[in-house]
Structure 1
Amino acid sequence: MASIMQKAFTVVQTLLCHAACASIVLYTLPDFGIRPMLQPSLSALTTIVEQIARTGDPRDVMGNIVQRLRELMQVDVCSLYLCTPDHQHLILAATEGLSANAVGKAKLKLDEGLVGHIAASLSTLNLGDAPTDDRFVFIPETHEMPYHRFLGVPLLHLRKLIGVLVIQGRERDPFPQEAEAFLITIASQLAGTLSQLQSQGGWYEKRSPRDGYRRFTGLKGAPGLGLGKLWLVRPHLSLDQIDAACSADHDAEKAAITAAIIAVTEELESGSGHLGQHLPGDLNALFSVYQMMLQSPELSQQILARIDAGDNAPWALKQTISAMAEQFRQADDPYLRARAEDICNIGQRVLNQLLSSERPSIEAPDEALILAGELISIADLAEFPLHQIHGIICTQGSVLSHTAILANALGIPAVMGVEQFTPEHHRGANVIADGHRGECVLNPPAPLLAEYRRMIDEEQRFMQELERLRDQPAVTTDGFLVNLLTNTGLLADATPGLQRGAEGVGLYRSEIPFMIHDSFPTEQEQFGLYHKVLKAYAPRPVNMRTLDIGGDKQLPYFDISESNPYLGWRGIRFTLDNAQLLISQIRAMLRADVDNGNLRLLVPMVSRVDEMQSFRRYVEKAVDALNRDGHPVRMPEIGMMIEVPSAMLLLPRLAPYVDFVSIGSNDLTQYLLAVDRNNPRVSNLFDHLHPAVLVALEQIHQQCEALHLPVSLCGEMASDPAAVLLLTAMGYSTLSLSAYNIPRIKLLLRSVSRESLQPLLEQTRQCNSETEIRALIAPLLETVGWSQDKRPGLLAKGAETAP
């Protein structure tokens, strides 16, 4: 049995690996004894994965799955039942062998019938005469009475029931164990993909061809709600559509590509276009990143080399851009992976210039627009009047792309990575970009449209109310003051933070200059950027984290390969082993502080006492050396990040070498729970309200108080309203969060008293899970006007009564 299971698993794994191959590879299955076997080939099933990847209609995908499985396993019936989005019922989503009229109509409760029993028990059921079983429920429209043999397995993904996969036959004996093992293996491989279809609900919702109402799920790029007409951005030939071609006139091709690169450079240098005065000055740094990529010698040299080798300009451009983007996509760090999108955007703009001597002007209608496309670049946004852009929808991209960063800065709702959505098929349609939930709604029916309009109006009034709080303190009704700082990753983040009332920078990620260069940046290059950040916030404090790369944050020009990067060469370990880089960065930061006096150094991933001892010595030596060279630098405060549990346990021994502490809640949660938040198999277990995390945070705060060390917390936890209430009860008086969330968290804090939170904190100490803790806090959040989707209501009680 075990060997058969392993063989089945190996076969399917091989199938998945070869699904994209053009060559036909034939595999044979063991004889399951289902029928006299004809040595069926798995090559038919390989198309399942391909079909899932390229088919937009969920019903077509599911129909293809049951058809291929029925043929592969040589059975009379193969059926797929999926849970409804509310997990109350199972519906026959696709079948081969039962009546097609039953699809979408045959409906069972989760404990009803044989299929319901499988769903309720989460166990496999293999019967020889199903109709005689007491649990059998006959559904007339399925016409399944002739079938006696029954085998069903649950579809489970990340501990959640997705549906049930069933095969049936006319024989009156159970399916062999080998067939059962194989079907279990097939189900385990398909569950993840089917979970995406099941959660979206498109297979279940009754859609009228007339109105075309659909919902599509993506990633939360930038919060907010936007309603408008769908406007397709750059609906012309893409890089992916370029085919291989040769050229006989190399000089002409080289002149054309050079002219195209120059034209795009001039576009970027022309500034921010229609965004005009609405674009914060520092956001021009994002355009500078594009310019740096475009002017990279590697880009033009590789293109010209390919043309010299015989390629025409478009094909040479495509190959070069694809190779450069792939280098970024291979990086483990999400920031680096997101830069692949920028490379592709640059390549697309050059291609547009290359294929058209005159750039076609965009004459957008004078109405609210939702911009949609595969990857919408910063320069694309600059071509539209800001007041017309009510939302952004990208079928590709991530929450770390420059598009999402800019959308956050400008307050434009954005949904990234919307799969199975083809905007070119819906030009001019009414569409809603819901950045709160990470979804877009196509052609909403009148009642839903009216509700969204009400929510948009309410949110606009709410944001206007928040503007009055920008310069007000984040103080509870009983006088507990919380300092709200901002997290920044680019210079572009400076202006939004200040506009939303940030009292400083709690975490400045200094990796950006290293990521956008093709080599380690010089001390002078770093000095220029750091000086702008410190000057923008002076006299407010700026906590500059030293270089946090290594292992999971690889640079394209400094490869680090490790089997377990999260436990490897990263953070302070990397920089101490590369002291020249560390000293150069410290010197640049110290020099940038001369005219500002607001620098605070922050050391990442500390796990040992000798790490802080060594770091402090390097800073002291740099201060002495710079003063001798005529730079009047000062000794800044030095802080350490608590992300590794050992740092928490060594706090008393580390205290003599640090001036303050900053808790990195994302990494600390990850290490305490042994959960990789980027791993879809376990990411649902990542929750900073896990009881163990709260216990750790209380202990850290108590230790810091005893050691007289100021302590702050940064990360996603500082934007979670439930977590903020508990942190306030614990006594945390400094939080660092994204600029957009500062006004909302400020309003929340001004709506509660710390005294009233103390009993709540005591109750959470008795909870056994984050689910219990969130349920305990939910009623209080409701009373202060914070709705379940984490958007506060317009009128929060006590918001204007705080001192």
Structure 2
Amino acid sequence: MPHPLATLTALVEQIARTQDPAAIMETIVQRLSELLEVEVCSIYLCTPERDALILASTQGLSDAAVGKVSLAMNEGLVGHIAATLSAVNLADAPSDDRFVYIPETHEKPYHRFLGVPLLHLRKLVGVLVIQGHQREPFSDEDEAFLITVASQLGSTLYQLHRDGKWMSNLQDVSPFRRYTGIKGAPGVGQGRLWLIHPHLSLADVKEAMTSNPAQQKSDFADALEAVRKELESGSGKLGQHLPADVRALFHVYELMLQSPELSEGVLRLINGGASADWALKQTIDEMASMFEQSSDPYMQARSEDIRNIGQRILNQILERDQQVLEAPDEELILAGDLISIADLASFPQQRIRGLLCTAGSTLSHTAIVANALGIPAVMGVEGLEPEHYRGARVIIDGNRAECVVNPPQALMNEYKRMIDQEQRFMRDLDRLRDMPAETLDGMRVKLLTNTGLLADATPGLQRGAEGVGLYRSEIPFMIHDSFPTEQEQYRLYSKVLKAYAPRPVSMRTLDIGGDKQLPYFEINESNPYLGWRGIRFTLDNTQLLVSQIRAMLRAHAEHGNLKLLVPMISRVDEIKTVRELVEKAAEALKRDGIEVGIPEIGMMIEVPSAMLLLPKLAPYIDFVSVGSNDLTQYLLAVDRNNPRVSNLFDNMHPAMLVALEHILGQCRQLNLPVSLCGEMASDPVAVLMLVALGYDCLSLSAYNIPKIKLLIRSLHHADLLPLLEQARHCSDETQIRALFSPVLERLGWSSDHRQPPEQSKPQP
């Protein structure tokens, strides 16, 4: 019988509208039974431990067997499908040697059998089976259709599997929920779940009514005033730095904001019962369409401006919708899609006990900042809907990449014991603060810190940092409401340089783009990681780059410990232009009476072309910093924020080993000092490989410095060299990690190699 694509599409759409796990699976088996005209359709799902398959839903077998029948992997035909990940199509299943009859299912009358594995991103979710009375195999058409269905349903059933809710319909399980994700930042925390609202686009606003028009009108009026102040402040601060046409844009925005069509249109709709955001969307759409219908290109372009104004107003309305915390001193777990730096900055740091993101990966910017602050984080958690658990008690375990919602008291107590033990251990590591990171056979490794979120640079000093290897200057830009002025930047940079003097501070010029966006300068690109980011953006906005260079040089004139670092270099002319701008800025400052010398100028190696152009780049630079996060991403062509491929991202990939050896060899030949920054420097297994390679300067989050120092002081460099030689012959990262991991195990580190000796895991 024909199985048009439309039937599959209709099935998937019907499932998408179903919320209850049991209802989803019941819909699947019922609809497939009808579509394929079979007597039996069943779904078997893996247990959380993936050691068995449970009959989760069926149409045709005994309902009493659901939740009761369990098959081990490779047990019976279903287990065989799970173990081999291949389809089985039989004319008479009971006569097959692999068949196992389970009386509870009442499946004795059925002979023909077709089963296919359910997979999602290479992981087994379960097995989908159809059965019938006839003694003939299913047709090739039926088999192809079932395989297609399984490929479409794999993602939906995977989320159910990870969620664990499907088991609550089958057996008596405890009410708490355990969700797993991707490791973001190590550590353990407890607190109340606080939902961070995602930034809603005006185009995504849905129809909504209100029973309180007065409040909605008040919110709209407040939002208008807030945007007016934003524009006034922005034009004032940046007026002297912006060209005339850009300054005029501020005036256009202000006129649009004062337009009676805007205010009257929104208020009229609110009076009619619409919510403020829905009224705003309709009014903006109407005004923008009037511009779009004009034959004048200039007037057509103004439609973008009115939509921009509408988005600004919407952002202010949503900000006013944020709930006020009832318990100001309560510990919090922040949860959302991806939590921005601005979100983090709006809470006292001592209250944030963990970050829980339903998107992102280990090297998302959120995870990097969490690592820098020592906040546990779990990324890419599928199946969790944070809005359903507002205010719930949550445990977050960044070491095992999981969280527990509404945990029982016994589990909370066990995690509390772990948290206390971790804090005691970190306090004990204070004894190493002033000791060098030196191996037992004398190899000295300089440990620098990454910073940028806070002007207060003391965490790195408190943990023994020997300087700053990466100051992320974009973070102050990201938490500001407009481009900061030269004077504002100077005050901030001076504070950081003063705190570390005479230790060196490598300040990276503005690096936005990719997953780092400015709230007041939106960049929309189809492929942002290969687009307008880093030095490309700042060179195209030279006035911003010059302003930042001047602020850095002024701070350097006072403290003398600046090293200027340039991101995303891929061409010789880029670094050549930056050096020329630095020299011109220094000359201009001298004419103003500020005696400043040219600081060391370095570049990040993140783009593979920079690695290959090192001899040509060397005349224009004084040092090199390997940005391990982006270099891995570009070298492997893996978007670290894409959960479909983020599992392929690993700094220990053999290609990275080759690249790191090449970079170090080139730098030695060219007499260029080289350091490595990024999360690779916080990964104990990776640190073993880096030390073996000969990298003697690492920059990492302040929180992780004591642990990595302890590791380096516990090993012999010479013992790692034979492992490095073996690693050169490995074909994947798993093999390389397997070579170096036993070193950590001998030193007593935990099985996940993230926690030093004396750290244990809770018993679930």
The answer to whether TM tops 0.5 is yes
Partner letter of residue 46 of structure 1? E
The 1:565–1:246 alpha-carbon spacing in structure 2 relative to 1, beyond 3 Å, is same
What is the match of residue 720 of structure 1? 683
The 1:479–1:454 alpha-carbon spacing in structure 2 relative to 1, beyond 3 Å, is same
Deviations 1:638-675 (A, max 9, x none): 11111122222222222221100011111211222222
The 1:452–1:255 alpha-carbon spacing in structure 2 relative to 1, beyond 3 Å, is closer
| SS of structure 2 residue aligned to 1:468 | helix
| Cα distance in structure 2, aligned partners of 1:261 and 1:401 | 34
Deviations 1:514-552 (A, max 9, x none): 545666554444434433433343333222222334567
Please state if 1:784 is matched with 2:747. yes
What is the match of residue 182 of structure 1? 145
Alignment counterpart, residue 588 of structure 1, candidates 548, 551, 560: 551
* Greater Cα shift, 785-794 or 313-322: 313-322
Post-superposition shift, 1:253?
6.0
Post-superposition shift, 1:747?
1.6
Please state if 1:244 is matched with 2:209. yes
| SS of structure 2 residue aligned to 1:744 | helix
| Cα distance in structure 1, aligned partners of 2:349 and 2:545 | 41
Partner letter of residue 120 of structure 1? A
* Greater Cα shift, 432-441 or 656-665: 432-441
Alignment counterpart, residue 350 of structure 1, candidates 320, 335, 356: 320
- Alignment TM-score, normalising by the size of structure 1: 0.75
Any residues of structure 2 matched to 1:43-442 within 5 Å, and which? 43=10, 45-51=12-18, 54-55=19-20, 58-201=21-164, 203-204=166-167, 211-218=174-181, 223-227=186-190, 243-245=208-210, 307-311=266-270, 315-316=275-276, 350-351=320-321, 362=326, 391-392=353-354, 413=376, 431-442=394-405
* Contact 1:670–1:686 (Cα < 8 Å) also in 2: yes
Partner letter of residue 722 of structure 2? P
| SS of structure 2 residue aligned to 1:459 | helix
Partner letter of residue 171 of structure 1? Q
The 1:731–1:513 alpha-carbon spacing in structure 2 relative to 1, beyond 3 Å, is same
Alignment counterpart, residue 621 of structure 1, candidates 575, 578, 584: 584
The 1:256–1:429 alpha-carbon spacing in structure 2 relative to 1, beyond 3 Å, is closer
* Contact 1:211–1:443 (Cα < 8 Å) also in 2: no
Partner letter of residue 362 of structure 1? E
Partner letter of residue 674 of structure 1? A
What is the match of residue 291 of structure 1? none
The 1:516–1:202 alpha-carbon spacing in structure 2 relative to 1, beyond 3 Å, is same
What is the match of residue 242 of structure 2? none
Post-superposition shift, 1:710?
0.6
| SS of structure 2 residue aligned to 1:115 | helix
Please state if 1:752 is matched with 2:715. yes
Partner letter of residue 49 of structure 1? A
The 1:552–1:409 alpha-carbon spacing in structure 2 relative to 1, beyond 3 Å, is closer
* Contact 2:514–2:529 (Cα < 8 Å) also in 1: yes
The 1:563–1:81 alpha-carbon spacing in structure 2 relative to 1, beyond 3 Å, is same
Please state if 1:734 is matched with 2:697. yes
What is the match of residue 230 of structure 2? none
The number of aligned residues is: 700
What is the match of residue 646 of structure 1? 609
What is the match of residue 708 of structure 1? 671
* Contact 2:747–2:757 (Cα < 8 Å) also in 1: no
| SS of structure 1 residue aligned to 2:275 | helix
Please state if 1:689 is matched with 2:652. yes
| Cα distance in structure 1, aligned partners of 2:332 and 2:529 | 39
Post-superposition shift, 1:65?
3.1
What is the match of residue 494 of structure 1? 457
| SS of structure 2 residue aligned to 1:310 | helix
Please state if 1:775 is matched with 2:735. no
Post-superposition shift, 1:613?
2.2
* Contact 1:395–1:419 (Cα < 8 Å) also in 2: no
| Cα distance in structure 2, aligned partners of 1:631 and 1:723 | 44
| Cα distance in structure 2, aligned partners of 1:538 and 1:323 | 55
Post-superposition shift, 1:709?
0.8
The 1:434–1:651 alpha-carbon spacing in structure 2 relative to 1, beyond 3 Å, is same
| Cα distance in structure 1, aligned partners of 2:256 and 2:173 | 48
Deviations 1:684-741 (A, max 9, x none): 2211111221122122112212221110111121111000011112111111112221
Partner letter of residue 618 of structure 1? L
- In percent, how many aligned pairs have the same letter? 63
Instruction: List runs of 5+ in structure 2 lacking aligned partners.
Output: 227-252, 285-311, 760-764
| Cα distance in structure 2, aligned partners of 1:104 and 1:115 | 15
Partner letter of residue 433 of structure 1? I
Partner letter of residue 790 of structure 1? H
Deviations 1:482-539 (A, max 9, x none): 2222223423573433333322222222333554566655444443443343334333
| SS of structure 2 residue aligned to 1:163 | strand
Post-superposition shift, 1:754?
1.6
* Contact 2:187–2:376 (Cα < 8 Å) also in 1: yes
| Cα distance in structure 2, aligned partners of 1:544 and 1:745 | 23
* Contact 2:206–2:278 (Cα < 8 Å) also in 1: no
What is the match of residue 538 of structure 2? 575
| Cα distance in structure 2, aligned partners of 1:749 and 1:464 | 18
* Contact 1:546–1:585 (Cα < 8 Å) also in 2: yes
Deviations 1:375-418 (A, max 9, x none): 9999999999998x584565768689999899767755455776
Please state if 1:479 is matched with 2:455. no
| SS of structure 2 residue aligned to 1:789 | coil
| Cα distance in structure 2, aligned partners of 1:616 and 1:382 | 33
Post-superposition shift, 1:787?
0.5
| Cα distance in structure 2, aligned partners of 1:393 and 1:343 | 28
What is the match of residue 503 of structure 1? 466
Please state if 1:673 is matched with 2:636. yes
| Cα distance in structure 2, aligned partners of 1:499 and 1:210 | 46
- Alignment TM-score, normalising by the size of structure 2: 0.78
Alignment counterpart, residue 636 of structure 1, candidates 573, 594, 599: 599
Partner letter of residue 730 of structure 1? L
| Cα distance in structure 2, aligned partners of 1:186 and 1:476 | 56
